[in-house]
Chains A and B, each alone.
Chain A
Amino acid sequence: MNPSPHIEVRRLTKRYPSGGSSITVLNEVDLSINRGDSVAIVGPSGSGKSTLLALIAGLERPTSGEVYLDGRRITDLSEDELAILRRRSIGFVFQSFQLLSNLTARENVLLPLELAGCTHRESRVDALLSEVGLQERGHHYPSQLSGGEQQRVAVARAFATSPPILLADEPTGNLDSATGSLILEMMRHLRVEIGSTLVLVTHDPEVAKITDRVVRLQDGRVTSDAAGGTQV
């Protein structure tokens, strides 16, 4: 029996009102991602990459079409159900880190564990901070950390609950290339360890190389879908 895809997008369309008319950001996109796969979504600015990511995460509702996670249609779920789905199943890494400025690095990593009601939280945080090389900086606030360090905290936070799905939006966009590579390596390592499915949005071919598959979007449509590494 063929297992159902981990993430499946069917005829997904998103339009935004603009003045009297509307702008179509995604136009009947179909996409299927299997469990444990890593996929890079690439394309020029405005091609709908981040919107696709937001729709997969249930952060936004499509104009039409459906999103299935683990065979479950999420487009009809309530805000509360979506929130619970995110806390249990999805980890995020953002371009601008999105750490909570009034929490220490340690507390930022702890938060998703607390929300999900996990046990052995403290030891998990220790392990993750050590994994990203920040075991000594746990008590620092984001403003006291460099950009790279902040993104390492964000990576630790994203993997804290060992989420089956990891969504990353330009994770190296605000970092120099050396730091970016380090972050990508950490993400790759943790993903393999946990076995998460990765969906990564980027416009950087080097970043896309770490994935098994590259999907190219242009004007809201999928223009190519190929094995990763070289095809961008």
Chain B
Amino acid sequence: MKPAMSVRYMLRESRGMQGRILFFVVCLGIGVAAIVCVAGLGAGIEAGIRREARQMLAADLSIRGFREPTSELLEFLDARPGISRTSVKEMITMIATPGRAGAPGRSQLVELKAVGKDYPFYGELQIEPPSLLGRLLSETSAVGAPDLLARLSLASGDPILIGGKTFTLEGTVKSEPDRLGGAFSLGPRLLISEAGLERSGLERVGSRILRRTLVKLPEGSRAEAAEELAEELRGIVGNQGIYRIETFADAQPALRRGLRRIERFLALVALLSLLIGGIGVAQTVRAWLAGRMDAIAILRCLGMRPREVVILYLGQTAALSLIGSLLGVGLGTLILIFISDLLAGYLPVTGFEAFQPGAIFRGLVLGVGVALLFGLEPLLEIRKVPPLRVFQRSLEPPRPTRAWRLAMLSCLLAGVWLTASVQGQSLWRGGLFAGGVAVASLGLAIAGTSLIKLIGRFPLRGSAVWLRYGLKSLARPGAPTLSSLVALGLGVLFVVGMSLIERTLSTGLRAELPANVPNSFLIDVQPTQWNEVEKLLRAKQATSIDSVPVVSARLAAIDGKPIGELAESMGEGKKSWALTREQRLTYAQELQADNTIVEGALWSLDGIPEVSVELDFARDLGVELGSVLRLDIQGAEIDLTVSSLRTVDWESFGINFFLVVEPGVLESAPQVRLAAANLPAAREQEIQDALAMQFPNISLIRIREVLEKIAAVLSRLGLGVQFLGGFTVVAGLIILTGAVTATSLRRGREIALLRALGSTRRDIIAMFLVEHAILGGIAGVIGSLGGSLLAWTVVTKGFEMSWVAHPKFLLSAILVSVILTSATSIAAGWPALSRSPMEVFRGES
């Protein structure tokens, strides 16, 4: 058969099936919209980051690290003609308003940023009143974020104390090109000059300051020039991971990596709604082909070959799925336009482009692919329609063999795996997702089959007609009970699972901290200050006071192998981070109670300096008992032998370290103290104010506030996930609508008969309600159980947090499932319910 004829026949074949086309198209469109939404958001942000890369870096190239850039590095830069440089230093610190009459003023933890005079090279630093940054930021001036001014009731011109030195607040900072909107932060921004930081005295040994040297290339330089310079600089600083060199051409690799991780997860969530749509597609294609069996037999009789028949209907399915996918693309792009406005403040880029060709292409390919994947089995089965059916209408295609069904199921699973791997960007993640969906569907299918069997055996004699009829409808041959149950159940499972994860994590984070564990940390305490600080804390009734020395170091080598080489072989990721991070060491004779030695023994080697390593961290470093870690402490190198491995109960909130060194090794190294204490809730602010006045270099971090902020970020992400989860529920309900519409039309005659025999409309509604409330109830119960299992696994295994049951939430989820299912069924079945019996009978004659 020629292609032109196929197309012609395809168009003729679609006549009179508008209702079915609509259902097919909507089923698919919802899922495709979700896919396009996620992919478009990801691609739009990524394109924005690339477009605004120079502004987001505020430079052509940046050298970032916790150590001062070496003089060799700076001299190299200064010797290059046409290159300008400036610096940015960022740290967490406490500031305060001046006290009155000896009493401390109000204090606040801030994210302090000290900038050089040319900052920023690109992008705009928006300051109110709009004025030259150079004038504003003298060595005594500062500008703060509006919420800092609000929290401390400050106005322009007011004095503030930074490191105990008085500065004048000259205005507010509205936005910085290199600070991400909506990003997690420990405190509001305070901006000062580099000279101001020097004057504050906060830059001292042990202070944790992130330093960036921003470099601007001569006007008109291309990305290659920045890359070349970066390579030369990498040659100078070496590959120990002390400095990270980034160019605008790299376009924020860490940020993009993080965003991609979120996108991968959301993309799988979106895929779930498309797969649920796929169930609807399979349902529609099966029903459609069942109605075309006579036509197929005639076509075979007229000389159409079996494969031509398959191609004909396959082509029609593909054409319909393309229409559905295009609709989904339109809907997805509309949603993107809407949410990009809604999320404007939280997106890391300013100009977000909702029209994303890549996302549209992905939506179309996945939409058509999933439709064909789910429609494949019924489509291939039509090869077997016997042409002899033209003589005997009762002839059906032979039942597929077990092997054939298994092959089709494997094909479906492989397809789901493939699409999930595309969405999750890894075969492993795709496999996990496909496995999870398969197990959940299997559970729902088993429950559905058992339900049908159980109802078949249920002694219903003597019960009310509406009850008997409603129950039997679930078990009638050809009832779409199974597919509706799987579709609805998957939707419920996902939404319940995600809500429970978010609820449990938020509850855990917002729960009252136990009274006997530290609720605050004091950082950057100088060793000479500790006695006084401890005295102050005790005087203010703080309890569980603890303090340990902290030495900053970097790993130089493990068992003689330089860290640079080891990190390179690891690539980007957690292990490479473990090797190259700024290591924080402490030393102690005994370990804290929340530490347990699992291998080796503490300080058991004679005459050799030892280190005890936390078990997971040891795995990331790739070290074991007997390994030798060479540490670089401010230029001096020491070798430490791993003599014990230990586990730590991190939920205790005690001060704990990955690396604990034997006493007698680090005592003379430059160090600060880290302290923890439980502050009485009512006196937290008072203690913070007193500390800020007496010890302006010390920062107090309140765990409560940090956890609150994490919980807030989590609920923002949770909202996004639930928004997408909504698509899965909508997809499930649409499938139910389709199933109810199809069966209620088929049942039209029975309903008419029942009404002619005296059943009232109320009786018939009751039948519908019984049937669909049971369906919704079972989907709700199994979905909730599955969702709980999913959430439990993620919370206890993934986040290692304790599980909190939410029985009321689960009950309400089941109830909502019952109500939504029943309401949808009544709405979809209404046309059949409202036809008069005579109308139905006359239509048949």
User: Contacts A83-B304, A92-B390: A101 and B1 contacting too (C-beta < 8 A)?
Assistant: no
Contact yes or no, B307 A114, CB < 8 A: no
Sample of 24 A–B contacts (CB below 8 Å) = A54-B391, A59-B300, A59-B387, A59-B388, A60-B386, A79-B305, A80-B305, A80-B306, A80-B307, A83-B304, A84-B305, A85-B303, A86-B301, A88-B303, A94-B390, A98-B294, A98-B297, A100-B298, A101-B16, A101-B295, A111-B299, A112-B302, A117-B2, A169-B391
Q: How far is the CA of A88 from the CA of B299 in the complex (A)?
A: 14
Contact yes or no, B304 A87, CB < 8 A: yes
Residue interface mask B281-304, A partner, CB < 8 A = 1: 000000000000011011111111
Q: How far is the CA of A59 from the CA of B304 in the complex (A)?
A: 12
Contact yes or no, B12 A107, CB < 8 A: yes
**CB-defined contacts of B1 to chain A, threshold 8 Å:** 115
**CB-defined contacts of A92 to chain B, threshold 8 Å:** 301-302, 390
Contact yes or no, B302 A102, CB < 8 A: no
**CB-defined contacts of B387 to chain A, threshold 8 Å:** 59
Contact yes or no, A114 B305, CB < 8 A: no
Interchain CB contact (< 8 A) of A83 among B295, B300, B388: B300
Q: Is the C-beta of B100 less than 8 angstroms from some C-beta in chain A?
A: no
Q: Is the C-beta of B5 less than 8 angstroms from some C-beta in chain A?
A: yes
Q: Is the C-beta of B13 less than 8 angstroms from some C-beta in chain A?
A: yes
Q: Which A residues from 65 to 90 make CB contacts under 8 A with B?
A: 79-80, 83-88, 90
**Which 10 pairs, one residue from A and one from B, show the smallest C-beta to C-beta distance?**
A87-B303, A86-B303, A83-B305, A102-B15, A59-B387, A80-B305, A59-B388, A114-B5, A50-B391, A98-B298
**CB-defined contacts of A57 to chain B, threshold 8 Å:** 301
Closest B-chain residue to A169, C-beta based?
B391
**CB-defined contacts of B13 to chain A, threshold 8 Å:** 102
Q: Which B residues from 240 to 262 make CB contacts under 8 A with A?
A: none
**CB-defined contacts of A53 to chain B, threshold 8 Å:** 391
Q: How many Å from the CB of B14 to the closest CB on chain A?
A: 8
Closest B-chain residue to A87, C-beta based?
B303
Closest B-chain residue to A53, C-beta based?
B391
Q: How far is the CA of A101 from the CA of B15 in the complex (A)?
A: 10
**CB-defined contacts of A90 to chain B, threshold 8 Å:** 303
Q: How many Å from the CB of A36 to the closest CB on chain B?
A: 22
Q: How far is the CA of A173 from the CA of B12 in the complex (A)?
A: 29
Most chain B CB within 10 A, of A60, A98, A112, A157, is at A98
Contact yes or no, B12 A103, CB < 8 A: yes
**CB-defined contacts of B302 to chain A, threshold 8 Å:** 86-87, 92, 111-112, 115, 157
Contact yes or no, B12 A102, CB < 8 A: yes
Closest B-chain residue to A91, C-beta based?
B302
Closest B-chain residue to A111, C-beta based?
B302
Interface size class of A (residues with CB under 8 A): 20 to 34
Most chain A CB within 10 A, of B295, B298, B304, B308, is at B298
Q: How far is the CA of A59 from the CA of B302 in the complex (A)?
A: 11
User: Contacts A54-B388, A92-B390: A112 and B303 contacting too (C-beta < 8 A)?
Assistant: yes
**CB-defined contacts of A102 to chain B, threshold 8 Å:** 12-13, 15-16, 295
Q: How far is the CA of A86 from the CA of B391 in the complex (A)?
A: 16
**CB-defined contacts of B16 to chain A, threshold 8 Å:** 101-102
Q: Is the C-beta of A192 less than 8 angstroms from some C-beta in chain B?
A: no
Q: Which residues of A are at the interface with B, using a C-beta cutoff of 8 A? A: 50, 53-54, 57, 59-60, 79-80, 83-88, 90, 92, 94, 98-103, 107, 111-112, 114-117, 157, 169
**CB-defined contacts of A50 to chain B, threshold 8 Å:** 391
Closest A-chain residue to B390, C-beta based?
A98
Other than the known A59-B300, A87-B303, A87-B304, what 20 A-B pairs have Cβ atoms closer than 8 Å? A54-B388, A59-B301, A59-B391, A60-B386, A86-B303, A88-B303, A92-B301, A92-B302, A98-B297, A98-B301, A100-B298, A101-B16, A102-B12, A102-B15, A103-B12, A112-B302, A114-B8, A115-B303, A115-B304, A116-B303
Q: How far is the CA of A169 from the CA of B390 in the complex (A)?
A: 10
**CB-defined contacts of A60 to chain B, threshold 8 Å:** 386, 388
Most chain A CB within 10 A, of B302, B304, B308, is at B302
Q: How many Å from the CB of A160 to the closest CB on chain B?
A: 9
**CB-defined contacts of A59 to chain B, threshold 8 Å:** 300-301, 386-388, 390-391
**CB-defined contacts of A116 to chain B, threshold 8 Å:** 303
Q: How far is the CA of A157 from the CA of B299 in the complex (A)?
A: 12
Q: How far is the CA of A59 from the CA of B388 in the complex (A)?
A: 6
Q: How many Å from the CB of A91 to the closest CB on chain B?
A: 9
**CB-defined contacts of B8 to chain A, threshold 8 Å:** 114
Q: How far is the CA of A85 from the CA of B300 in the complex (A)?
A: 11
Q: How far is the CA of A53 from the CA of B301 in the complex (A)?
A: 12
Q: How far is the CA of A101 from the CA of B390 in the complex (A)?
A: 14
**CB-defined contacts of A157 to chain B, threshold 8 Å:** 302
Most chain A CB within 10 A, of B299, B301, B386, is at B301
Q: How many Å from the CB of B156 to the closest CB on chain A?
A: 77
Closest A-chain residue to B8, C-beta based?
A114
Q: How many Å from the CB of B382 to the closest CB on chain A?
A: 13
**CB-defined contacts of A80 to chain B, threshold 8 Å:** 305-307
Q: Which B residues from 4 to 49 make CB contacts under 8 A with A?
A: 5, 8-9, 12-13, 15-16
Q: How many Å from the CB of B589 to the closest CB on chain A?
A: 86
Residue interface mask B383-394, A partner, CB < 8 A = 1: 000111011000
Interchain CB contact (< 8 A) of B303 among A83, A103, A169: A83
Residue interface mask B436-478, A partner, CB < 8 A = 1: 0000000000000000000000000000000000000000000
Q: How far is the CA of A53 from the CA of B5 in the complex (A)?
A: 29
Q: How far is the CA of A157 from the CA of B5 in the complex (A)?
A: 17
Q: How far is the CA of A95 from the CA of B176 in the complex (A)?
A: 83
**CB-defined contacts of A84 to chain B, threshold 8 Å:** 303, 305
Closest B-chain residue to A143, C-beta based?
B16
Closest B-chain residue to A163, C-beta based?
B303
Q: How many Å from the CB of B136 to the closest CB on chain A?
A: 77
Q: How far is the CA of A114 from the CA of B6 in the complex (A)?
A: 10
Q: How far is the CA of A114 from the CA of B8 in the complex (A)?
A: 10
Closest A-chain residue to B17, C-beta based?
A102
Q: How far is the CA of A128 from the CA of B765 in the complex (A)?
A: 53
Closest B-chain residue to A89, C-beta based?
B303
Q: How far is the CA of A50 from the CA of B306 in the complex (A)?
A: 22
Q: How many Å from the CB of A120 to the closest CB on chain B?
A: 16
Q: How many Å from the CB of A77 to the closest CB on chain B?
A: 12
Q: How many Å from the CB of B275 to the closest CB on chain A?
A: 31
**CB-defined contacts of B388 to chain A, threshold 8 Å:** 54, 59-60
Q: How far is the CA of A100 from the CA of B304 in the complex (A)?
A: 14
**CB-defined contacts of B9 to chain A, threshold 8 Å:** 111, 114
Q: How far is the CA of A99 from the CA of B16 in the complex (A)?
A: 15
Closest A-chain residue to B306, C-beta based?
A79
Q: Which B residues from 361 to 392 make CB contacts under 8 A with A?
A: 386-388, 390-391
Most chain B CB within 10 A, of A86, A100, A112, is at A100
Q: How far is the CA of A84 from the CA of B294 in the complex (A)?
A: 20
**CB-defined contacts of B301 to chain A, threshold 8 Å:** 57, 59, 86, 92, 98
Most chain A CB within 10 A, of B5, B9, B304, B391, is at B391
**CB-defined contacts of A94 to chain B, threshold 8 Å:** 390-391
Q: How far is the CA of A83 from the CA of B301 in the complex (A)?
A: 7
Closest B-chain residue to A95, C-beta based?
B391
Closest B-chain residue to A117, C-beta based?
B2
Q: How far is the CA of A57 from the CA of B391 in the complex (A)?
A: 12
Closest A-chain residue to B2, C-beta based?
A117
Q: Which B residues from 660 to 704 make CB contacts under 8 A with A?
A: none
